[in-house]
Amino acid sequence: MVKIGEHRTLQGFMPPTTLKADQAHRLVVQVLDRITTPQQRDTLLEAALGAADATEVPADAGALTAFVLGPLRDAVAQTVGPTAAEMMVKFLTPVLAHQAVQIRDQQPAPSEADADQAGPVDGPVTVLIVDRNIQVRSQVARVLQKHGYGAVSAPDVDVALAMCVRYRPALIIAELEADSRDSEKFTALLQVAFGAEAPPVMALTPDLVAARGKRHADHVEANPIMADELIAAVQR
């Protein structure tokens, strides 16, 4: 077991964008073995998988990142302590960041259709709007532009990631469902792909109680939201 205060990483292990299931499992177990006893490892891993409603450690980069930064970190903190949990994240961050940066850099440039939907970027601060409904995106963009903000939009999280690379928004306003795994993957990938430069996410959701119990966003607002409430939330 690694002593508290040691900071070693998995240097030299730079995986492909997507791991195989057994590789992801071995990677997580390897790190947990550094900070826990075998009994603690098995107990907390079972708890983390249960919390994630999963039967095995996810191999997909986004899902793995969300699992590590969410249920697994919580389980380690509860079983071993918060210091060990943050150490676990530090061990895994280089691997997760490598995968996230690959995904970020492989995103194609937004299509002309997406760019047309986005509208002009003519404000000093750019806000990215993520919503499946083009009418909602347009309405929110108009409100923001009326108050001096630049606005771009994306219909889904894949296009949103490409938009983040292209426009580097100061804020993301997103329709994030409380039970959406895609939402968890998106925010987790943002965190590790952009690091300290990751834009904050403001989630609009019809279920405030459920959303506030998730790691989908830095700030949560009710959806639908009035124009003046939206601007007040953006200014915060």
> Which one is predicted more confidently, 30 or 21?
30
Give the pLDDT of residue 13: 41
> In the predicted model, is pLDDT for residue 90 greater than 60?
yes
Q: What's the order of all strands across the beta sheet hosting 201-205? A: 150-154, 126-130, 171-175, 201-205, 219-222
Q: Which domains does the chain have, with CATH numbers?
A: 21-106 (no CATH), 112-235 (3.40.50.2300)
What integer pLDDT is reported at residue 45 of this predicted model? 93
Our CA angle for 106, 112, 117, nearest 5°, is 105
pLDDT at 189: 76
Question: CB–CB of 205/176 below 8 Å?
Answer: yes
Which pLDDT score, from 0 to 100, does residue 24 have? 86
List, for residues 116-157, the tens digit of each pLDDT value: 444 545 555 688 888 888 888 888 888 888 888 888 888 877
d(CA 45, CA 123): 46
Task: Please tell me the least confidently modeled range out of 30-44, 79-93, 215-229.
Answer: 215-229
* 7 — pLDDT class (breaks 50, 70, 90): very low
pLDDT digits (tens, 9 = 90+) for 33-76: 988 999 999 999 999 999 888 899 988 777 787 788 788 888 99
* pLDDT given for residue 46 in this prediction: 93
What pLDDT shows up at residue 41?
92
Burial 119-138, CB ≥16 within 10 A → b, else e: bebeeeebbbbbbeeeebbb
Q: What are the DSSP calls for the chain, one per residue? A: -PPTT-----TT----SS--HHHHHHHHHHHHHHHS-HHHHHHHHHHHHHHTT-SS---SHHHHHHHIIIIIHHHHHHHT-HHHHHHHHHHHHHHHHHHHHHHHHHSPPPPHHHHHHH----SSSEEEEE-S-HHHHHHHHHHHHHTT-EEEEESSHHHHHHHHHHH--SEEEEE--TT-HHHHHHHHHHHHHHGGGPPPEEEEES-HHHHTTSSS-SEEEESS--HHHHHHHHH-
Task: Flag the least confident range among 3-7, 8-12, 85-89, 94-98.
Answer: 3-7
- For the chain, the C-alpha Rg in angstroms (whole number) is 19
Look at residue 32 in the predicted model and tell me its pLDDT.
Answer: 93
Q: Does pTM surpass 0.85? A: no
For residue 87, give the nearest of 136, 49, 35, 43 by alpha carbon. Answer: 35
Question: What would the pLDDT profile of 153-210 be if each residue is shown by its tens digit?
Answer: 888 777 787 778 778 888 898 876 644 556 677 777 787 777 778 888 888 776 655 5
